[in-house]
Each structure stands twice: as structure tokens, then as C-alpha cells.
Amino acid sequence: MTLRLAAVDLGASSGRVMLGRVGPDELELTEVHRFWNGPVRLGETLHWDVLHLYREMLVGLRNGGSVEGVGIDSWAVDYGLLDGSGTLLGNPVHYRDARTNGVMERVLQTVPADELYAVTGLQQLPFNTIYQLVAEGNLDRAETLLMIPDLLAYWLTGKLGGEATNASTTQLYDVRAHGWSETLAARAGVPVRLLPELREAGDVIGPLLPAVAEEAGLDPATPVIAVGSHDTASSVVAVPAAEGERFAYISSGTWSLAGLELDVPILSDEAQRANFTNEGGVDGRIRFLKNVMGLWILQECLRVWGTDDLPGLLSEAAAAPAYAVLIDPDDPSFLAPGNMPARIAEFCAKSGQEPPRSKAAAVRCILESLALAYRRTLRLAQTVADREIDVVRVIGGGSRNELLCQLTADACGLPVLAGPVEASALGNVLVQARALGAPLPDLTAMRALVRATHELRRYEPQGKPADWDAAESRVFGGSG
Ligand code: LFR
């Protein structure tokens, strides 16, 4: 039996609707609609255009034709607030908006960082949902908080609820109790009534509302199914690792999420100091990882340069001198949208380096710096989790970037296995298929199906490890 399933997969720079076919030896995706997504500045505030996302989702569903299920995943931490009648209060704000500047520091005076980490196990990022809600100020009219995929699912079905993997990124979720931490919410001044009932990946949310079904050209009985609604949770489902393999993963896109899959969270002082996160995965797994700034810096450079000739720049960058200029991609100055080439130059000025002399040199600088950040993060993960890593699995759009994959293998001194590219959409349809009865009992079975149906590319480490050691001490003072 082959199932036809629609995956709505929203990344920070594009959204897509993929039609998945899942059968005993079959796992295939066809892109039926792709659309722009990104920050929209309105006055002083950066928003998401959530009605545009909703509309494009419906266009994609219509293009895909009849399906047995619909699943939605997106980036994390951002949300919409509904009033008591279910009306959206304002356009959701983008996590890169400046409203959270200084808020984390303020909250930590009331709720100490140790307490937050002991309950949530979450890395401190200025845009965590808890800080956004505090930045929001007056929440009197708000009755329900819905994360972006939950908001879209609400519009499709009329059903309110919060899917757990995405809830785990709010810093209001108790990672050991698998539920909202009402105590933390109350301590931070977030009204507990906002937190919706939780659902797990695989739960059926409900059928389409009749009017929505008509607009999307679908049968109104079509179920919307909760998947790992945090895109990174869905993409980790599709890491094609074999049982027992000692792998690390890098989910590579606008962000690079680099880390390990664990069965239980690590809430030690060492993990907290290293600022590792313990986000909730599908089937109760823990995504023990750090956010590395990712291809965002490169995307912003391309935007500022007004070019989309990435292939041309990458081949020039491959031939450019190695280790000429290095940055710390996680420097807070790279977080907000803006003139990244200028910010790279400022970073160089502060760190006593000449700025990159050409676009290709800047690309080389960004990719080598990312590879170094991956090396540092994965080594730290090994130490903190006391685990060995034999292979780095790179998944997501960035797995197509051959130069970055090779540099990652070189910097980490480990083989890189790259692919699949559409990992989050694959994880999305796999979880739906299981919910509908496909014989995919666990992650091992899902991953075996990805392995059997997708070509991967292998990169062996090359070059001299000592060169990367020297590069690392230049950027990070050799503390790694
Ligand atoms: C990746 C991602 C990351 C999250 C960031 C912001 O798309 O979901 O996991 O930290 O976006 O939401």
C-alpha cells in the first residue's frame, strides 16, 4: 500500500509543499509548490507574513491533489496569540526582531539561569519564546499561544493545541516531565492560561474544515496529522543512520543545528556552561545540540550583493586561499538581518584581520568559519555527553554545498555523509505514514527506508589537522 501525503515545510527563507509517496520500499517527494518566506519590516518591527504562508500552503495543497494526510512543520520559537474568540492578535513577530534585546538579562534576574536550565534544558538564545513573551508586554487580551505550525493547523482544522517538539523550544517546557512548566511560566510572568493542551507527533489533529477543504480542493475528511512540527525535529527523524551507528548530525539550512541524538536530557553544569540545548525529538528522543548561525550569513551576503550566482561563487571560493580570514559565526552581530559583508569587515577590524578582498574570499571565510564552529561544537558535544562520534551526518539544504561538506569533514577530521536534502519534509511524511498504519514502528525503520531510497554523498577528511588547530586558536583563542 502506498500512501500519498502532503508535507508543509516552512523554513526561514522559503516554504514548500511536498507531495510524499510512502510505501514498503518507496519514499519519494515531489515539490508541488515553493514560495518565499522571510522577514517583513513594518515600522520598527520585523514580522512574518503569516497570511501569505497560509495562502501559499493552500495553493500547494491544491496543487498536490488528494492525499491521505497533511502535516506541517516550521522553524521554532515563534508564535501567534489568539483572543478568547480564536482571533489572531497581530501578525507574528520574527525571532530576529530587536524587541528581545536585553530581555533575557532582565528575566534572569527573577528566574535564575540555573533554574531555567534544570527544568527546560534549553540553550540560552535571546529569542527563546519565553523572552519574546516578556518583551511583548501586555498579554491581557491573549487567551492562547500557538506556535506557527499549530496556528496553521488551527486554521485548517479549527482545533487548538500545541505539538510537543516545538513546545520544547519555548523555554517554558519541562524536558523531564514532558509538559509545560506552569511554575516557570508564572515565575516569568507568562499567564499560564496561554499554554494550550499538548499533542505528540503522530496524533491526529482533526479533519479539514469544510470551507478550507473546498478552497484546497481536498476531501473534508482528510486528516491533519501532528508531525515533529519543529522542522529540526522532523529533519532528525530522516537522518539515515543505521542502528548502533555513532553519529553526530548537522541539520544545515538557514541555521546549522549541530549535535547528537540522546535518549535522556543532559542537564549538567557542563552542558549548561557549554550552552547545549535538550530539545524534544520525535518518539521521546532528545536533540542535544547547539545552534550555529549557519548559511544565514551567506544568504544575507548574497542578498546585499544582489546576486544569486552561488554556484559560481562556490567554485571560486574552492580555489581561494585557505584560512585567510576567519570569523566567529555565532557573534551576536550576525543575528539581525542587514549588511553582512560590512559586519564581517567590522569583525575583522576588531580581531586584527584584513577583511576578505573579494566576494569569493568572503564566501570562503564564511564556510571555513562554519566548519570550524561545527568542529568546536561537535567536540564539545562528545566531551559533555561522553560519547564517541564516528561520522557526521549532514542533512537539509546545506548538504548540497560540496565545499562546505568537504571543509566540515576536514575540520572535524571525520567522514561526512551528506543527504537527504529534504530531510524535514521526509521526517514529516514518515511520521504521518506511521500514524496512518504504515509498518514503520520506530525511528530505526524510518531511517532504514530513507537509506534504501536516497543517494548519499561521502566526504573523507583531507588536509592537515594541525592547520585547523591553528585556525581554531586564531578565532576562539584555542579554548575549544
Ligand atoms: C531551524 C530552526 C532552529 C531554531 C531556529 C529558530 O529552522 O527551527 O532549530 O532554533 O530555526 O526557530
Q: Each residue of 375-389: pLDDT tens digit? A: 999 999 999 999 999
The answer on 249 and 176 residing in a single domain is no
Is residue 22 over pLDDT 80?
Answer: yes
Is residue 314 over pLDDT 90?
Answer: yes
- Domain with 20 in it: 3-230
Of 230, 263, 290, the one marking the end of a domain is 230
| Model confidence, pTM | 0.98
Is residue 474 over pLDDT 90?
Answer: no
Query: Does a structural domain hold residue 428?
Result: no
Average model confidence (pLDDT) across the chain: 97
Mutate which of 257, 377, 422 for ligand 1? The one with the most ligand atoms within 8 Å of its CB, which is 257
381 Cα: distance to centroid of ligand 1 (angstroms): 19
The answer on 276 and 257 residing in a single domain is yes
255 Cα: distance to centroid of ligand 1 (angstroms): 6
Query: Does a structural domain hold residue 426?
Result: no
Is residue 477 over pLDDT 90?
Answer: no
Tens of pLDDT, residue by residue over 156-169, are: 999 999 999 999 99
The answer on 474 and 339 residing in a single domain is yes
Region 100-126: mean pLDDT is 98
Would you state the pLDDT for residue 478? 53
Is residue 277 over pLDDT 70?
Answer: yes
The answer on 137 and 87 residing in a single domain is yes
Of 177, 195, 230, the one marking the end of a domain is 230
Alpha carbon nearest to ligand 1 atom 1, residue: 75
Is residue 1 very low, low, confident or very high in pLDDT (cuts 50, 70, 90)?
A: confident
Ligand 1, closest atom to CA 279? Answer: 9
CA distances from 265 to 151, 392, 450, 466 (A): 28, 21, 26, 33
Region 352-372: mean pLDDT is 97
Alpha carbon nearest to ligand 1 atom 7, residue: 75
Query: Does a structural domain hold residue 435?
Result: no
466 Cα: distance to centroid of ligand 1 (angstroms): 33
The answer on 214 and 135 residing in a single domain is yes
Is residue 476 very low, low, confident or very high in pLDDT (cuts 50, 70, 90)?
A: confident
The answer on 171 and 144 residing in a single domain is yes
The answer on 275 and 175 residing in a single domain is no
Ligand 1, closest atom to CA 76? Answer: 12
Ligand 1, closest atom to CA 78? Answer: 12
Mutate which of 72, 255, 278 for ligand 1? The one with the most ligand atoms within 8 Å of its CB, which is 255
Residue 173 burial (C-beta neighbours within 10 Å; 0-12, 13-18, 19+):
buried
Region 138-151: mean pLDDT is 98
Query: Does a structural domain hold residue 315?
Result: yes
Is residue 207 over pLDDT 90?
Answer: yes
Query: Does a structural domain hold residue 447?
Result: yes
Of 230, 248, 276, the one marking the end of a domain is 230
The answer on 221 and 245 residing in a single domain is no
149 Cα: distance to centroid of ligand 1 (angstroms): 13
Ligand 1, closest atom to CA 74? Answer: 8
Region 6-17: mean pLDDT is 97
The answer on 332 and 183 residing in a single domain is no
Is residue 178 over pLDDT 50?
Answer: yes
Query: Does a structural domain hold residue 436?
Result: no
The answer on 256 and 222 residing in a single domain is no
CATH code for position 468: 3.30.420.40
Catalytic annotation, residues? 231
Query: Does a structural domain hold residue 54?
Result: yes
Region 52-61: mean pLDDT is 98
73 Cα: distance to centroid of ligand 1 (angstroms): 11
Query: Does a structural domain hold residue 330?
Result: yes
Total domains in the fold of the chain: 2
Percentage of the chain modeled with pLDDT above 90: 97
Would you state the pLDDT for residue 228? 98
Mutate which of 46, 123, 130, 169 for ligand 1? The one with the most ligand atoms within 8 Å of its CB, which is 169
Give the binding-site residues of ligand 1, using a 6 Å CB cut-off: 11-12, 75-77, 95, 230-232, 253-255, 257, 291
Would you state the pLDDT for residue 144? 98
Tens of pLDDT, residue by residue over 387-417, are: 999 999 999 999 999 999 999 999 999 999 9
The answer on 254 and 202 residing in a single domain is no
Percentage of the chain modeled with pLDDT above 70: 99
Ligand 1, closest atom to CA 257? Answer: 9
The answer on 204 and 93 residing in a single domain is yes
Alpha carbon nearest to ligand 1 atom 12, residue: 76
319 Cα: distance to centroid of ligand 1 (angstroms): 32
Alpha carbon nearest to ligand 1 atom 2, residue: 75
